[in-house]
A = this chain, B = another copy of it.
Amino acid sequence: MNLILLREEQKQTPTQYKLTESQMKHVTQVLRKADGERIRVGVVNGNIGDAIFDLPSGLVNIVHLDALPPKSLPLTLVLALPRPNMLKRTLTNITAMGVKNVYLIHSSKVEKSYWQSPVLKPESIENFVFEGLEQAKDTVIPTITFCPRFKPFVEDIFPTLMTPDVLGLLAHPYNAKACPIDLKQPSILAIGPEGGWSEYEVGKWQEAGVETVQMGDRILKVETAVPVLLSRLYPA
C-alpha cells in the first residue's frame, strides 16, 4: 500500500475517516506511524493528499486533498476469463497500470467452472482492485463487466465500444502484424484464453472490425502478456 484509500462509508465527518482493521494494521505495523504523524491518503474516486493519524481513535484527519490521481490508460481491455488465480493477479496488475474499463468474457477455451469461482464475487473483485489502486496511488475504481456469453458480447456490446476514434485490436499470434508501439489514440484490446481464440471467434472478431496483432515468437501467460501489451501500446 503506497496510499490508504478511504471509502465513503468510512467517513465520520467531512474531514474525518475511520480506518478499517487492515488499514490500521498497515499504518501501525508496516508504515510504523505513531499518533499524530502524517500519512498519504486518497478518497475513492477523488483526490489524494495528507491526513494526520489519530492512533487512539483509529481515525485520520484530512489535512488537504490537493493532488489528482494519476492518468488512466485510454484503453478498454477485453479478457477471456482467466483461471481464478491468474484473474486475481491480473486484476490487481491492470488496476495498478491504470486500466479503467474491463470486460471479462467467455470464450470456447474458458473452462465453464471458472464462472462459478468465488473470486468473481463483488467483494473479492473489490479487494483485488483496491490492492492495485493502493499500489499505484490511484483512487479511481475501474468498471469491470462480466459477459458469460461470447456472441452477445461481440455482436451487441462490442460495437457500442468501437466509436470512430477507437482502434480495435485482437491479440492473436497467427497471420497478425506486430502490435503497435506508443499508440496515440484510444483502443480496445482483446486477449484470449490459454489455448487462444477459436477459429469461429477470430472470425466474429474480424467481422466486428478488429485488427489481429502479435508481439513476437514467445507465448506468454496472460498475467505477463497483459502488462507487456499495455506497456507497448501506452508507454507512460
Q: Which residues of A approach B to under 8 Å, CB–CB?
A: 2, 70-71, 93, 96-98, 135-138, 178-179, 181-182, 215-221, 223-224, 227-232, 235-236
> Do A97 and B220 have beta carbons less than 8 Å apart?
yes
Which of A215, A217, A231: most chain B Cβ within 10 A? A231
Q: Output the least CB separation between A75 and chain B (Å).
A: 14
> Do A231 and B221 have beta carbons less than 8 Å apart?
no
> Do B215 and A235 have beta carbons less than 8 Å apart?
yes
* Cα distance A161–B223 in the bound complex, in angstroms: 31
> Do A96 and B135 have beta carbons less than 8 Å apart?
no
* Cα distance A182–B230 in the bound complex, in angstroms: 14
> Do B219 and A2 have beta carbons less than 8 Å apart?
yes
* Cα distance A97–B220 in the bound complex, in angstroms: 7
Residues on B with C-beta less than 8 A from A236 are 178, 215-218
Q: Output the least CB separation between A34 and chain B (Å).
A: 19
* Cα distance A224–B181 in the bound complex, in angstroms: 19
Closest residue of B by beta carbon distance from A218? B136
Residues on B with C-beta less than 8 A from A178 are 235-236
> Do B221 and A224 have beta carbons less than 8 Å apart?
no
Answer whether A217 and B97 are a contact pair too, CB < 8 Å, given A181-B235, A228-B231, A231-B227.
Answer: no
> Do B220 and A96 have beta carbons less than 8 Å apart?
yes
Q: Show 20 residue pairs from A and B whose CB-CB distance is below 8 angstroms, ordered by the A residue.
A: A70-B218, A71-B217, A93-B220, A93-B221, A93-B223, A93-B224, A97-B220, A97-B224, A97-B228, A135-B221, A137-B217, A137-B218, A137-B219, A178-B236, A181-B182, A181-B235, A215-B231, A227-B228, A227-B231, A228-B231
* Cα distance A219–B131 in the bound complex, in angstroms: 12
